[in-house]
Structure formats: structure tokens, C-alpha cells
Amino acid sequence: VEAGRRSHWGWGHDAARPSGDALDGLAGLLSARFGEPATVRAPVPLEDVELPPSRVAPPSSLARLCRADPYERCLHHYGRSFRDVLRGSRGEFPHPPDLVAYPETEEDVVALLEWCSQAGIAALPYGGGSSVVGGVEPLVGDGFRGVVTLDLSRLAGVVELDRRSLAARVRAGTFGPALEDALRREGLTFRHFPQSFEFSTVGGWIATRSGGHFATRYTHVDDLLEAVRLVGPAGVLETRRVPASGAGPAPERLVLGSEGALGVVTEAWLRVRPRPDARARATLRFGSVERAVEAVRALAQSGLEPANCRLLDPAEALVGGAGDGSTAVVLVGFEAAGRPVGALLDAALEVVADHGAVVAEREVLDPPARAASGTALVTDSGSAGAPGAAPSGGGGGGAGPAGAAEAWRRSFLGAPYVRDALVLCGAVCETFETAVTWDRFEALDEAVRQAAAAAFAEATGGRGSVTCRFTHVYPDGPAPYYTVVAPGRAGAELEQWQVVKEACSDALLAAGGTITHHHAVGRDHLRWYLAERPPAFGAVLAAAKKLLDPAGVCNPGVLVPLA
């Protein structure tokens, strides 16, 4: 995060993006795949971007926290969805925040919210800006004098550690790598690795109920949150530090997923754990997706609770380097601190054997004490390895560099840069995700693929691909995650994507899924969220907002529709 300034339009740092021959190569692949010439477009440089003038000035007491230069206003204009990256790379920044404020203390947050409430200015909390659902875009209607984005990145750090209870008090603006660096020094980890880990924050995770490393059981940040503190214009909501409670509806559940609409999360107590030093994982291949689905269902219902359990359809496996495109692949992994987990993997392999699994790779790393007595890393090929240093947020369960699983993990971590490069090559390229019960999965998958095909016929000349993986699995259903790539028509990519997005989102809801398993609601999913949530709950949420944010300035238009 500290290494230079972040791109004002795309993921991460510009220097890390494919360029030159790599970009041309990508355009060549696109042309070959869709039979249309793909040309590479250069992103519009910041100097050429025209911005509307800032409409508000901060009071002198807050001026030291506020910035209004073009870089800050562009950086905070969008999240990092396909639509965001496309518009940003075209130099389109029509409604930037008027000011970007960097609160350094909770008192600063209180003062900024007070000023915004009194002056009729919308206040948008901002963590890492990795939202893919329009959560940080200042589209707040006409009812406000201006927009101030509250960038929480200076309200950061691990401020207290309760070793005995394994919990850490962490400020909201702490980015993933900074959190893990601080915990690593104590032999601990939070082990929450969304794919956006590098450029997203603790507060953002809580506000969006992000999904992380664990494919079963502790899938969302919800499960790792002990207590939370939210500052709203009308006061503070702080929940009690307890391991569990049956005292009425859980107050932290009001804050989880609140997406900045109720106020600013300033800090939280997070459940941490000793760093795992024992891992076991396998790469499994299946003759058909149907058999792989049944195998994963059996695993999810076995009670074994693997840390990693990812199903990749053949095309997804091919793109990620985990397969040759002819078979579905399942990556399964276990991990623990101080005790071996090889027996758990063996039990999992027994479960999937009945479903025709072929074990392509198997790897076991015992904890150091056992390693010293001679049972170090054992792989089928007999080679030794060490745990990967990079987060294994969705890859091979955190174990060493096994071929297919490691290839897939690397591709997973580099994917956001490749996505941006595809956008520059003219592709329509985006993901969407859901969760559904097992009894409805096949029908939902079929409906999504049909909806996408019909949308391609309407919008992209019938050309486009849809691939699927399961990011998380539960005893009662999977969380399917779809990736769409289609050739764009220069200048019409937004409209083309909108056709696909609407068709697929309608299909998800009609087939019994949710509009999002972990990407959140933001502005982009509001329509489907309103259809999905019980109307009475919507009224309760609106009442809660009225109470905590009487002037309605906190991220207007998110979760509660604009008046």
C-alpha cells in the first residue's frame, strides 16, 4: 500500500499492470477466442481529465484533513468493478467527491459527520475503495449540497491484543497486509483473505460482510468479528466483547453489511488465531461437472470442514492454470496450528472417492516438531516445499507450491490486473456471484447460462463466455461465482454489460439465489436487494437509519433508497 501512489483508475499500482508485449498478447488471445480483432487502448492520463469544480469548502477546523486535488477526487470517484475501471480508464469522472477527508482520530470522524449533517453534505465512508457494486461512487441524488468522501486509511493499526482470548482491537482503516504484518510478529493471523486483500480494509470488510479464505464454516468476516464500534451522526453504537450471546437480536449484525449507510465503523475486535503450520491439500479431477458438484456436496455435508474447497468448471480450471479444460477440478485443503491434518485430508479423499475423483496432486505438511522427526513435506512426486508467503486467499488452502493448485493461486492473485488489461483490450469482463441451496443449484446454473446466452445474442453478436467456480460451500448449498468475458463494441461496453448483468441477476433471483453472497449491495444491486429482502425488514432498516443518521447524509442511496 505504501509502495507508490495507487492508480487513479484501475486496480493497485500502474507499474504492476501488464503492458507492452503482454498487453498485445492478451489482445491476440481475445481476437483468437472471439474471432474479432481486439485493439489495445491507452488509459486517459490524469492530466487530461476534466473535473467539475468542487462545490464545498471545509470549515477551517477541518481544513487540515481535507484534499480537493484532481488525483484525490479521481481516486475516490469509483470502486473497482468492470464499469468503474472502464469509465476511469476512459477519463470519465463526471461526479467526483467535492472533498476527500482523511480523519486521523475518531474525534475527527465525529466532527466531519457533524459538519456534513449540519451543512446538508453527503458523507461517504471509504476504506480501500475496492467495492465492485458502486458502494463508494458519489451518486447521491440532488438533495445534498455536495459530497465528502471519508477515507479511513489514516485511522489504522492494531491497537490492542488480548492474547488470552485470541482477539485484537483493530482500527477500521487497516489494510489487509498491514493487519497480517502486525499479527505475524505475534505468531498470529486473522486469516481473512478476500481476493482484494491487498487494497481493502478491516472497516470495508465489516461494512460489506466480505468473504475470505475459509471455504467452509468461517466464510464471512461476520464469523471472525467479536465486537464493533460504529460512529453515526447521532452517536456511537458499540457492541459488547463476548464470545457469544443470546441476548436478543445481535447488535453487531446491524453494523455488519451496513455499507456506510448507518455511519462509520471506526474499530473492531477481531478473532485471531495462531498461524497454521500444518497443511494438507489435494487437487482432484472429475470426468464431469455433475460428479464434481456431488463430490463437493458430500464434502460440505461430511462435517470435515476443509479450509479450502473450491470447485472449478473445466473452462475456469483452464484459465486459472489448474487444468487442461477437459475436466472439472476441485482444490481441497486443511490447515491447523500445531497438529497434523493429513488424516483429515485422507478422510476427505475417502468421501470423494465414491464420486469418481482422480487425485492429481496430494501434499501434506506436518507441523515442525513432527517434521524434525522425519515426516516433513510429502508429495506424490516426493518433492519438498515450504508454505507460500503470499496469502492463499482462495487458492490452494495455504500449502506449498504444488503444481495445479499453486498455478491457480497465482492466477487468482494476479487476476485483478489481468481484468484491467482485458478492459484496455476492449473486452466486457466481469464477475457476479450468489448462493443457493443444493436442491436448486442445477436449475440456477442452467438459468444463468441461458440468460447469459440470450444477453450475448442481444448485445455482443452472440459471442461471450461464462465460467463458474464455487468460492464457498455450506452443508445446505454452494456459493457459485461466475466470470463473464465477451468482446466489447468500442464505446458501447457499458450498455453491453448492463444487458448481461440485468439478465443474469434476474435469473439468479428467479431461481432462488441471492443477489450477492459476498460482493455486497451498493448502488448496483439495490434493485434486486429490494426484491430479495422482506419488506418489513426494509422498514426496520430505514427506521434504524433515521435514528442513527437523522439528516440522512451517510452514504445516501445505499441499502435504503433515496427519498
Ligand X SMILES: Cc1cc2nc3c(=O)[nH]c(=O)nc-3n(C[C@H](O)[C@H](O)[C@H](O)COP(=O)(O)OP(=O)(O)OC[C@H]3O[C@@H](n4cnc5c(N)ncnc54)[C@H](O)[C@@H]3O)c2cc1C
Residue type, position 281, single letter: R
Q: Which of residues 18-47 bind ligand X (CB under 6 A)?
A: none
CB atoms within 10 A of CB 166: 14
Q: Applying CB under 6 A, does 264 fall inside the site for ligand X?
A: yes
Task: Judge whether 280 and 405 are in contact, CB under 8 Å.
Answer: no
Whichever of 14 and 294 has its CB closer to ligand X, that residue is 14
Whichever of 66 and 268 has its CB closer to ligand X, that residue is 268
Residue whose beta carbon is closest to ligand X: 204
Residue 261 to residues 77, 207, 544, 548: CA-CA distances in angstroms? 17, 9, 10, 9
Residue 366 to residues 302, 309, 360, 395: CA-CA distances in angstroms? 23, 20, 20, 19
DSSP character string of 177-242: HHHHHHHHTTTEE-----TTGGG-BHHHHHHHT-B-S-SSSS-BGGGGEEEEEEEETTEEEE----
Whichever of 80 and 291 has its CB closer to ligand X, that residue is 80
- Copy the grid coordinates of residue 179: 493487519
* Residue of 99, 101, 112, 172 that binds ligand X (CB under 6 A): 172
Q: Is 312 left (phi over 0), alpha (psi -120 to 50) or beta?
A: beta
Annotate each residue in 505-544 with x if it binds ligand X (CB under 6 A) or - if it does not, as one string.
-------------xxx------------------------
Whichever of 203 and 276 has its CB closer to ligand X, that residue is 203
Q: Cα separation of 143 and 160, whole Å?
A: 41
* Residue of 7, 89, 174, 201 that binds ligand X (CB under 6 A): 201
* Residue of 124, 179, 405, 421 that binds ligand X (CB under 6 A): 124
Q: Which of residues 369-408 bind ligand X (CB under 6 A)?
A: none
What is the nearest approach in angstroms of ligand X to the Cβ of residue 539?
Answer: 21
Annotate each residue in 543-562 with x if it binds ligand X (CB under 6 A) or - if it does not, as one string.
------------x--x----
* Residue of 27, 30, 132, 499 that binds ligand X (CB under 6 A): 132
Residue type, position 333, single letter: G
| Residue 388 Cα to chain centre, angstroms | 21
Which residues on adjacent β-strands are paired with residue 67?
100
Which DSSP state fits 47?
G
Whichever of 106 and 506 has its CB closer to ligand X, that residue is 106
What is the nearest approach in angstroms of ligand X to the Cβ of residue 260?
Answer: 3
Whichever of 306 and 416 has its CB closer to ligand X, that residue is 416
- Least Cα distance to 121 among 150, 86, 82, 154 occurs for 150
* Residue of 10, 12, 96, 129 that binds ligand X (CB under 6 A): 129
CB atoms within 10 A of CB 443: 13
Whichever of 115 and 193 has its CB closer to ligand X, that residue is 193
- Copy the grid coordinates of residue 540: 426496520
Q: Applying CB under 6 A, does 434 fall inside the site for ligand X?
A: no
Count residues near ligand X (CB under 6 A).
Answer: 37
Whichever of 351 and 504 has its CB closer to ligand X, that residue is 504
Q: Cα separation of 301 and 326, whole Å?
A: 27
DSSP character string of 372-391: HTT---EETT-------SS-
> Please, where are the H alpha helices in 301-341?
314-319
Q: Applying CB under 6 A, does 122 fall inside the site for ligand X?
A: no
Span of 15-23, 202-210, 375-383, 490-498 interacting with ligand X by CB under 6 A: 202-210
Q: Applying CB under 6 A, does 483 fall inside the site for ligand X?
A: no
Q: Which of residues 177-196 bind ligand X (CB under 6 A)?
A: 194-196
Annotate each residue in 66-85 with x if it binds ligand X (CB under 6 A) or - if it does not, as one string.
-------------xx-----
Span of 182-190, 199-207, 489-497, 532-540 interacting with ligand X by CB under 6 A: 199-207
Whichever of 81 and 327 has its CB closer to ligand X, that residue is 81
* Residue of 9, 82, 205, 412 that binds ligand X (CB under 6 A): 205
Q: Applying CB under 6 A, does 130 fall inside the site for ligand X?
A: yes
Which residues on adjacent β-strands are paired with residue 66?
101
Which residues on adjacent β-strands are paired with residue 328?
286
* Residue of 10, 18, 88, 203 that binds ligand X (CB under 6 A): 203
Terminal CA-to-CA distance of the chain, rounded, Å? Answer: 38
Question: Could you tell me which residues come within 8 angstroms of residue 142 by beta carbon, excluding any fewer than 6 positions away?
Answer: none
Q: Applying CB under 6 A, does 219 fall inside the site for ligand X?
A: no
Find the length of the chain: 563
Residue 234 to residues 113, 237, 404, 545: CA-CA distances in angstroms? 9, 10, 52, 10
Q: Applying CB under 6 A, does 265 fall inside the site for ligand X?
A: yes
Instruction: Write down the residue that cell numbers 488452502 correspond to.
Output: 397
Enumerate binding residues for ligand X (CB under 6 A).
79-80, 124-132, 135-136, 152, 172, 194-196, 200-201, 203-205, 207-208, 210-211, 259-260, 264-265, 416, 518-520, 555, 558
